[in-house]
Homo-oligomer: A and B are copies of this chain.
Amino acid sequence: MNRSVEAPLPRFPVSVTVDIVIFTIRDDELSVLLIERGKEPHLGRSALPGGYVRPGEDLDGAALRELVEETGLDGRSLHLEQLRSYGAPDRDPRGRVITVAYLALGPDLPTPTAGTDAAGAAWTPVGKALDPGFTLSFDHRAILTDAVERARAQLEYTTVAAGFCREPFTISDLRRVYEVIWGVALDPSNFRRKVTKTAGFVEPTGERRAAEAGRPAALYRFGGARVLYPPLLRTG
């Protein structure tokens, strides 16, 4: 019956965490960074990296901090956005924990081995991580599933795909991102036209990159645009 936020606080023990789904593309597969849990519960099982929100910290700040701690990278160079929150009463056996999940993505990142928390962290193809035989801790399977769905949708009407490519990149690099995440083959020539015609998606550097085979490809960098209008539709 209580309306809105009113003092005094009818408080009960709650903790708030952030969990981060960090995507990258490795060996033409969408991969997620998973850590091996070092403590109970779920000791030894795979889990998404994450941690507690600290007293003076914004949610985005907590996510950024965890991201840097886990990957050892400059967090500002990675795309990071809030996914959604999860708060089922029984999601953590130790008590009430609400987690705010984040989605991060970056270009083919190095395997995290820096002496930090990243020990025990490994890139795992999402196909493997979501396989029925693979066990994820807590409700992390649901979080990962939602993150994949979000990433797929984002490709359609935003330019986040460029975030998976290290600059400078070729149009083929960018196309492979779409093909891997959507799991479809795209027509190279039509894809090129669509992308180069969309203002602000990519801009040419003027350089070229020698390929393993065939004609060298022109190089591009990200153009800064955020939305993709009209969207790149998945069905054609």
Contacts and interface: CB of A to CB of B under 8 A. Distances in A.
Contacts of A116: 1
A17 interface: yes
Q: Which 10 A-B pairs have the closest CB atoms?
A: A59-B87, A3-B117, A85-B85, A6-B39, A2-B51, A85-B100, A12-B55, A4-B50, A16-B98, A14-B16
Interface of A: 1-7, 9-17, 19, 35, 37-41, 47-53, 55-59, 69-70, 82, 84-89, 92, 94-100, 116-117, 137-138, 229-231, 233, 235
List the number of copies, as a whole number. 2
A96 to B, nearest CB: 7
A4 B112 CA distance: 16
Contact of A89 (B6, B17, B58, B233): B58
Given A4-B47, A6-B39, 14 more contacts: A1-B69, A2-B52, A3-B35, A4-B35, A5-B17, A5-B94, A9-B15, A14-B53, A57-B89, A58-B88, A59-B87, A87-B100, A98-B100, A229-B235
